[in-house]
Structure 1
Amino acid sequence: MIVSISASHYLDPAADTLLARFPAPRRALFLDRDGVVNINHGYVHAAGQTTWVGGIFELCRGAHAAGYLPVIVTNQAGIARGYYTEAQFLAYTGWIHAQFAEQGAPLLATYYCPHHPTEGLGPLLRECECRKPAPGMLLGAADDLGIDLGTSVMVGDTESDIQAATAARLRQAKLFSGGDLPPFTEMFG
């Protein structure tokens, strides 16, 4: 049974300023986190575990220049499994947002799924509409932030990212397989 749950999110402290600069309908560059924003070392949830993927700040600066707002969409099974708390995740997410702002590549928001269908603990053990490949995080961001999904794009590193983008009817989704990220204009023209 699938339980309908709205996507959880962290809205950047500068979100109002970003939203004012980009009137609705807005375009987003959706990014998976582990494997696209940072190297996936397994359940990364602290600054000391973080290694940035090469080119990520440049990609986000290019997105801003092209009129796209960067939004992270990430499955966080580590919360469901009890490896770290939601509070620890949110503190780490705040740190990530601060690092991007310092690099002149501010993120608008991070949407996350804290559930897992087979390994979650307590109420986090469930099938939901927010865990990719379901499109719930993308749809939630669109509703909350005035994003036009049909003109938005995504970079993911797994097929479930691409499936979520397709289900949400994004204009384009790219599968990233490692190395350094190319510039935004090279990825999305």
Structure 2
Amino acid sequence: MMNKALFLDRDGIINVDHGYVHKIEDFEFVDGIFDLCRLATDKGYKIFVITNQAGIARGYYDKTTFEALSQWMVNVFADQGITIAKVYYCPHHPTKGVNNFVMSCVCRKPEPGMIMQAQQEFSIALAESIFIGDKISDMQAASNAGIECRILVNSRYTNESTSEQIEGVNRVNTLNQVSDYIK
């Protein structure tokens, strides 16, 4: 049986984007994220996190630190009655960094590698799935993976002309406006 998925970018969607968030004390959940995920769970969606983490390539933090923070985040969701099926992350950056994660890859958004990995591991019906992000690269990754329902939350990374760059993007100002897309 194929599953439908709610794919979430992390910084700016799950947590307030303070820039390279990697410590629990700097992790601030975005208003509405738990209610949105409860609704998605009730509607039969599996929830995944799809996040670029170039801070690893740049040497701001390491994979162990990121994975520990991710496990804490997953536990907070579990305390709220929400299961995060898996956190997928790309530690690479194509040009900037200080270690062996400086490279081009197929996982860094806008490439669809992380979404495709989730699709294979969890039998995801991508055409029935949803991607919520706050950057054009999120929308491009979702489009490149064949996800039709793409939701762009306005952020410091978007402007008025942003949605014209990718056909079929739904724009919202807050997560509280997303519930109408969860069917």
- TM-score range with shorter-chain normalisation? 0.7 to 0.9
Partner of 2:45: 68
**2:104 is the counterpart of 1:110:** no
SS at match of 1:128: coil
Q: Distance in 2 between matches of 1:114 and 1:65?
A: 32
Query: Shift of residue 185 of structure 1?
Result: 3.5
**2:175 is the counterpart of 1:181:** yes
Q: TM-score, normalised by structure 1?
A: 0.84
Q: Distance in 2 between matches of 1:144 and 1:120?
A: 30
SS at match of 1:112: strand
Partner of 1:21: none
Query: Shift of residue 187 of structure 1?
Result: 2.9
- Count of residue correspondences: 166
Partner of 2:169: none
Gapped runs of 5+ residues in structure 1?
A: 1-23
Q: Which amino acid aligns with 2:181?
A: M
Q: Distance in 1 between matches of 2:34 and 2:132?
A: 14
Q: Which amino acid aligns with 1:126?
A: M
Cα distance per residue 1:130-171 (max 9 Å; x no partner): 000000010011011111111111100000000000000013
Partner of 2:138: 161
Q: Distance in 2 between matches of 1:120 and 1:113?
A: 13
Gapped runs of 5+ residues in structure 2?
A: 156-172
Q: Distance in 2 between matches of 1:65 and 1:49?
A: 30
Alpha-carbon RMSD across the aligned residues, in angstroms, is 1.3
Query: Shift of residue 122 of structure 1?
Result: 2.9
Q: TM-score, normalised by structure 2?
A: 0.87
Higher relative contact order (CA 8 A, sep 6+): 1
Q: Distance in 2 between matches of 1:45 and 1:62?
A: 27
Partner of 1:19: none
Partner of 1:59: 36
Does the Cα contact within 8 Å between 1:79 and 1:115 map onto a contact in 2? yes
Q: Which amino acid aligns with 1:131?
A: R
